[in-house]
């Protein structure tokens, strides 16, 4: 058998989504609905894959150029139904010299993100084993409302009736049409010419091809999807949320079977492109988005979001938002830490409570323990940044870089005004504003000398509780300080 030709129908407007974004571009687990279908289709190694676009076609085509540039697209300018969409795709292929009559043609829908390659392999295998003219991917639902019903005679499929066109008796049928098929190419080309618009929607139904083939005695079979959820389509935000939960459970189950500990699977969300090593631990309310990689022994969460991040062996990340960052082996991050793009935490480094870092490199064993902002900076090995330190990187027009050397000690409540360099082994005094480079091994003191104005509160705030407390203290304290 020749490799199949795959046609994905993605031209619909999806009005029930009530969104400026085309329905097929809404995302589940870090991939668009259409992207999930393409990923499933890739399992059967198609010779050609054509996506039929329509509503907001420019957005859809741009998305496909980014995520699946090997896919061809054709626009259905007049959306006259699923049968018409398939006809448009077949004509597109024929114009490009593709002989569709000699290969199986698989038709899928772009809004079924839960579709698995396993279901497609089963459908295509059964299609070939039965030498079928058409094979319908089906499922048995307890509540089949809204779906087309499969009409059978013995083990053969003789037709598909849409919900709006079904009789009350036909609506009692639980086996439904997924909208996905495998056709023998020549049979599809022949039968599709017989479609008409004599139905409640006034459209060419692809389902009518099934009835045409069955009525002339061709073999038409139904094959159940691997899992009922495989065929679920997305029409509104409620169905989108339901599909998200199913995908979340599938992904979490895969990783738990691979040796990842997930304390609360229902509050843990992992995108399809993430990579987790065995013995990773994810605590509740953890989200892992994009191509994030987490190495063995790392502990992430609770209350943590990682986006396209790298987390090293045995690192600990608590109550943190981290995007496009690298967290080294044995490093600790959090709680309540914000790591912005370009940040690298070296091995055994620390970014502690209420620390924000952006485009900053923290050397091995270096620490930013508390209440600090580190932006556009390079910090060497074994250095400590005192609490409340601000790397002042922005002058209102440009960003400036600050460099802190190895084994340096930056005092608490410092302002490091970039561009500035603090040398290896240098110290800065607490409360300093550092505007000039600090040589290696030097101590920088950048603060005004303190002076005390005695009895200021008694003179300027008489009658206040502060003044009363001061009065009591001065009466019992005969230290003899000279007033200034």
Catalytic residues: 370
Rounded distance between C-alpha atoms, residue 370 and residue 290, angstroms:
28
Distances (CA, A) of 348 to 159, 297, 314, 316: 65, 14, 9, 10
Closest listed residue to residue 362, CA positions, set 375, 339, 376, 378: 378
Rounded distance between C-alpha atoms, residue 390 and residue 413, angstroms:
8
Burial class (CB in 10 A: 0-12, 13-18, 19+), 129: exposed
| Phi and psi, residue 269, nearest 5° | -120, 125
Rounded distance between C-alpha atoms, residue 287 and residue 271, angstroms:
8
Give every CB contact of residue 358 below 8 A, 6+ residues apart in sequence.
Answer: 340, 341, 342, 343, 374, 375, 376
Residue matched to tokens 């967290």: 327
CB 393 within 8 A of CB 409: no
CB 252 within 8 A of CB 265: yes
Burial class (CB in 10 A: 0-12, 13-18, 19+), 63: middle
Closest listed residue to residue 151, CA positions, set 94, 69, 210: 210
Closest listed residue to residue 318, CA positions, set 344, 355, 363: 355
Q: Which residues lie across from 415 on neighbouring strands?
A: 390, 433
Rounded distance between C-alpha atoms, residue 197 and residue 70, angstroms:
34
Residue matched to tokens 């000039």: 436
């Amino acid at each position: 058998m020749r490799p199949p030709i795959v046609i994905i129908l993605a031209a619909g407007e999806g009005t029930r989504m009530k969104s400026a974004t085309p329905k097929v571009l809404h995302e589940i687990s870090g991939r668009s609905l259409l992207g999930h279908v393409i990923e499933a289709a890739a399992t059967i190694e198609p010779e050609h894959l054509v996506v039929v676009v329509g509503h907001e076609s420019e957005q859809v085509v741009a998305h496909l150029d980014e995520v699946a540039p090997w896919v061809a697209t054709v626009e259905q300018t007049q959306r006259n139904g699923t049968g018409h969409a398939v006809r448009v795709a077949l004509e597109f292929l024929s114009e490009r010299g593709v002989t569709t009559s000699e290969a199986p043609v698989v038709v899928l829908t772009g809004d079924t993100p839960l579709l698995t390659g396993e279901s497609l392999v089963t459908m295509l295998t059964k299609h070939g084993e039965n030498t079928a003219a058409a094979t319908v991917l089906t499922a048995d639902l307890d509540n089949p409302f809204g779906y087309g019903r499969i009409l059978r005679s013995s083990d053969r499929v003789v037709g598909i009736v849409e919900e709006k066109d079904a009789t009350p008796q036909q609506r009692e049928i639980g086996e439904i049409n997924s909208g996905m098929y495998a056709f023998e190419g020549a049979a599809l080309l022949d039968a599709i010419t017989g479609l008409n618009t004599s139905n409640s929607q006034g459209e060419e139904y692809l389902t009518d091809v099934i009835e045409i083939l069955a009525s002339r005695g061709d073999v038409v079979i139904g094959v159940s999807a691997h899992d009922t959820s495989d065929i679920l389509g997305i029409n509104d935000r409620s169905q989108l949320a339901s599909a998200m939960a199913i995908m979340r459970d599938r992904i979490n189950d895969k990783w738990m079977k691979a040796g990842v500990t997930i304390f609360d699977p229902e509050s843990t969300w992992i995108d399809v492109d993430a990579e987790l090593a065995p013995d990773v631990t994810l605590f509740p309310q953890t989200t892992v988005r994009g191509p994030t990689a987490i190495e063995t022994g790392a502990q992430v969460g609770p209350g943590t979001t990682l986006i396209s991040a790298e987390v090293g062996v045995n690192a600990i990340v608590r109550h943190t938002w981290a995007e496009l960052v690298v967290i080294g082996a044995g490093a600790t991050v959090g709680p309540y830490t914000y790591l912005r793009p370009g940040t690298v935490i070296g091995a055994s480094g620390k970014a502690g409570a209420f620390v924000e870092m952006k485009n900053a490199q923290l050397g091995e064993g270096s620490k930013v323990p508390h209440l600090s902002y580190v932006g556009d900076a390079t910090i060497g090995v074994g250095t400590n940044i005192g609490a409340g330190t601000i790397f002042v990187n922005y002058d209102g027009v440009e960003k400036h870089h600050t460099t802190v050397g190895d084994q340096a000690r930056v005092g608490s409540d410092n302002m490091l005004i970039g561009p500035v360099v603090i040398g290896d082994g240098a110290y800065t005094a607490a409360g300093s504003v550092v505007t000039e480079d600090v040589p290696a091994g030097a101590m920088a003191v950048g603060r005004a000398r303190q002076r005390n104005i005695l009895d200021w509160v008694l003179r300027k705030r008489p009658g206040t509780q502060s003044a009363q407390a001061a009065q009591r203290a001065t009466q019992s304290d005969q230290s003899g300080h000279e007033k200034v």
